[in-house]
Structure formats: C-alpha cells, structure tokens
Chains A and B, each alone.
Chain A
C-alpha cells in the first residue's frame, strides 16, 4: 500500500483527511502513483500535472525519503521505502509567493 500526503488545498478538493492509501502495481513510479491518485480522486486531475502534457505543474513538488524527486523521470522507480509504504510520497505546494 502506497501512502501519499497531499497539501491542504488538495485534501480539501479531494475531501480527504490525513494520508491517502493507494494500491499501485510494482514497479512503483511517480507516474503510477499519480495515475492511481487521479483515478481514485478524479477532481485532482490537472492540479498536480497538466491535463494534456502530463508534465508536473511548475509549483508542485514531489518529495520522498528526504529527497526532492520532482526532476526525476516520472517513470523511474521510487525508493523501496515508498513502494513498501514505510515512507509516504509527499505532494508539496512549493514555497513561492503568498
């Protein structure tokens, strides 16, 4: 089970509290996590990555295990700790502006 932590505004949109748990087939990648997230909560489509290009929105970041994975390929395997659910995959609204 993959654990995902959403920023507060996206939790409000998705109408969830706390972490989200998702089933994601191995090998777990950023793209598969986001696909599963948008399938479970379709209102999040377009809020983290572009509807058409599927590119990450510029002020959204993806952190995991103390690393910024935002610039990694969306198809690169995520760390084992994410795949095993011992660490959460963090979706972050970048610190920019007010």
Chain B
C-alpha cells in the first residue's frame, strides 16, 4: 500500500507526518532543527529519500540541511554522516553561502532595488524561502531567496550559484519588498519543457524563462493591482503564489494579494477567476492531482486582517478552473477561527482520491483524503506552520 509523508516547516522546527494510504492514522516526528524557522522542506521527485530543508534564523542566518534517508537523519550537504564525527570532517560552509553574482560576465547583475521610501537599496541576502528540487536529478535543486533572486545547486546543495539573469533583468530596480520582504517564494518547473521555469516574487510579480534560467521576462499582463501607482504596471504586483498541473504546464493559476487569476498561455495574459469567493485575498493556491481544472484556495478577509472571513475556516474549490467556487467546510472550524494559511502551506498527494493538506498559523495541519469534501486535523498544536509538502511513496 502507498504511504504519505508530509513535510511540515514551522516557525520553530520541522515535523514529518507519515501515514499509510488510508490517511487515517498519522505518526509525527520532530521537531527537527528545534527552535529554527523552517521556511521550506521538500523532497526530490526522483529520489524520494532525498529531502532538502531551509533552516533559517534572524540570529544565525541560513543553513541548508539535507536528508538522504527520507528524513531520518540530516546533514549539511557535502559529507557523509560518518565524516562528520571529527572536526576535520565538517563540511565547509559553502552549502550556506548564497552570494549574489556580481561578475560582469554573467549579464548585468544589479546592486539595488526599490526600498520602502522610494530610494534604491542594495540587495542583501536574508533567507531561503523555497527549495525546488529538479524533476530529473536529485542533486539539482533551485532556491528562491530574499532579497529576491534564484539560486541553483547542481551538487546536491553543497554549493550554490545565482541565475543572475533574473535579478539583472531590466525591471529589477522597480522591484520592491512586500510586507514579508522582497522574497522569491514560488518556483515552478515545466515538466514538458526543461528550459522553461516560472517564478513569483512579492512584490514584483511573475517571471518566466525559456532558456533554462539565462534570461527572464515579466509575465504580468492582465494583472490589476490598485495598491501600485499604475495598476497595470509591468512589475510591482504582489503575487502570493502560482500553481500548475503537470499535465498542462501552460495553464497557470495565481493567488495574487487580491484576485485569483489564471493564464492559459504560460503567463502571457492573465484573467481574473475570483467570481463568487467571499474574499479574493489569500495566500496558497493548488491544483488537484488528477483534475487539472480543479483548484483550491483559502480566502482570507483582507490584507490587514489575515484570518478567514467571519471566523470560518473554509477551503474553496473550483472544478471549472475558477469562477465557480464551492465552500468546503466539513471538519473545519466554522466559528471563532482566526488563523492564516501561508503561501507554501498547502499541498496535494497523488493517491486516488486526491488528498489535500494545509497548515495554519495556529499550528494545525488539516488533511482531506477525499479531495476536500471532508477534513480532519492531523495535529493541532504545532508552532505556526510555514510550509506543507507531500510525498506520495510507493
């Protein structure tokens, strides 16, 4: 029988939740990296025992951790566990080094972006928000970081280099931080075209490369954001997350600061599909594993009131790719609920029927084993959940 492994990043450590294919009884291990913020933890689709973790701290900076045994043991990338038993065997700190590319040979790396007061501000690395392992090679992984940039490792996380064409694109000086910082939080890899990737940045927008990351262009046409001077500007949109179904990588779904959007031409043009949602503000958006037109969002009341409308935690599902939304409430608190669900804190498994999972800032992780019709909390009292990823294991 298949198994499910949930990888949960929280404000104070990582947790690994496992169950068999019935998804009824869960075992919880953790906290791993106790006391550290775990912005993201994600497994390789090629080697499911290979898991990458972003461990970060305002005090001590960025650490990358890697497991090669499905999360049982962890090490900084670069050494075998037995090598770490002596000081001489400690890996170099390169696995934690995210240094912006300043070389003239690799394009036009910028040194500044727009700051809150309108002045230009130097790029300063703060943390890794998102790790996206390659679809083809477990040693190949991308990292989306704050201040916004994309890095790549081709040696299993031992060392990182920036794909500087993104930050060096002409729009870079216009990017500005959202309330959470100038973060690159979403990386989507096109399974049909290895040269194509999509990324999203708060608050700059969505971008696409068609040449494996050398050059990038903004793909924000059709977005309308009242909170910037030109609501239809090329960049400046606070995109919260984008998602795709692997069978149709040219169809993208977006949860923007306000507005749920879709594009059917790889981001060249977006149209709003919020329609009957009680609020079109929110953070996560995800796609059913087997139904490319079934999508999920969690409406949040407003940009200054980060909790569900009316204190009722509702996932909304559209089976028509947007515009026609139904509230999913069974098993979710329908009164006095004032948690948030962050952008990377929703995920789906690939079992039949599709499982849907999300974590809250109140520390609950909810699961549905029937595509959202019914929900149960797997665990109720974790630290605030930052990210949830699913591995479906044979």
A42 adjacent to B35 (CB under 8 Å): no
B58 adjacent to A59 (CB under 8 Å): yes
CA distance A6 to B251 in the complex (A): 50
Report A1-53 residues with CB < 8 Å from chain B CB.
Answer: 7-10, 13-15, 38, 40-48, 51-52
CA distance A51 to B160 in the complex (A): 13
Instruction: Check if B214 is an interface residue, CB within 8 A of chain A.
Output: no
A95 to chain B, nearest CB (A): 10
- The contact string, 1 if C-beta is below 8 Å from chain B, for chain A 66-91, is 00000000000000000000000000
Q: Smallest CB-CB separation from A51: which chain B residue?
A: B97
A52 adjacent to B36 (CB under 8 Å): no
Q: With a CB–CB cut-off of 8 A, which chain A residues contact B180?
A: none
B90 adjacent to A9 (CB under 8 Å): no
Instruction: Check if B93 is an interface residue, CB within 8 A of chain A.
Output: yes
Q: With a CB–CB cut-off of 8 A, which chain A residues contact B91?
A: 42-43
Task: Give the total of B residues in contact with A, Cβ under 8 Å.
Answer: 19
Instruction: Check if A60 is an interface residue, CB within 8 A of chain B.
Output: yes
A9 adjacent to B99 (CB under 8 Å): no
A38 adjacent to B35 (CB under 8 Å): no
B102 to chain A, nearest CB (A): 10
B93 adjacent to A93 (CB under 8 Å): no
Instruction: Check if B63 is an interface residue, CB within 8 A of chain A.
Output: yes
B interface, over-half SS: loop
- The contact string, 1 if C-beta is below 8 Å from chain A, for chain B 73-101, is 00010000000100100111100110100
Q: With a CB–CB cut-off of 8 A, which chain B residues contact A47?
A: 60-61, 63, 96
Q: Smallest CB-CB separation from A20: which chain B residue?
A: B87
B59 adjacent to A46 (CB under 8 Å): no
Q: With a CB–CB cut-off of 8 A, which chain A residues contact B57?
A: 9
CA distance A47 to B90 in the complex (A): 15
CA distance A51 to B76 in the complex (A): 16
Partner of B59, one of A14, A15, A60: A60
Q: How many residue pairs bridge A and B at CB < 8 Å?
A: 59
A43 adjacent to B93 (CB under 8 Å): yes
Partner of B99, one of A41, A44, A51: A51
B368 to chain A, nearest CB (A): 32
B59 adjacent to A42 (CB under 8 Å): no
A9 adjacent to B59 (CB under 8 Å): yes
B61 adjacent to A42 (CB under 8 Å): no
Contact status of A42 and B58, CB under 8 A, knowing A9-B35, A51-B97, A52-B99: no
Instruction: Check if B220 is an interface residue, CB within 8 A of chain A.
Output: no
Instruction: Check if B274 is an interface residue, CB within 8 A of chain A.
Output: no
A57 adjacent to B93 (CB under 8 Å): no
Q: With a CB–CB cut-off of 8 A, which chain A residues contact B35?
A: 8-9
A9 adjacent to B58 (CB under 8 Å): no
- The contact string, 1 if C-beta is below 8 Å from chain A, for chain B 45-84, is 0000000000001111111000000000000100000001
Q: With a CB–CB cut-off of 8 A, which chain B residues contact A44?
A: 93
Partner of B62, one of A8, A46, A93: A46
Q: A15-B84, A45-B92, A57-B61 are in contact. List 20 more A-B contacts (CB 8 A).
A: A9-B35, A9-B57, A9-B59, A38-B93, A40-B87, A42-B90, A42-B93, A43-B90, A44-B93, A45-B93, A46-B61, A46-B62, A46-B97, A47-B60, A47-B61, A47-B63, A51-B97, A52-B99, A57-B59, A57-B60
Q: What residues of chain B have their CB less than 8 Å away from a CB belonging to chain A?
A: 35-36, 57-63, 76, 84, 87, 90-93, 96-97, 99
For this complex, 15 residue pairs linking A to B, each with C-beta atoms less than 8 Å apart, are A7-B59, A9-B35, A9-B59, A9-B60, A15-B84, A42-B91, A42-B93, A43-B90, A44-B93, A46-B62, A52-B99, A60-B60, A93-B59, A93-B60, A96-B59
Q: What residues of chain A have their CB less than 8 Å away from a CB belonging to chain B?
A: 7-10, 13-15, 38, 40-48, 51-52, 57, 59-60, 93-94, 96-97
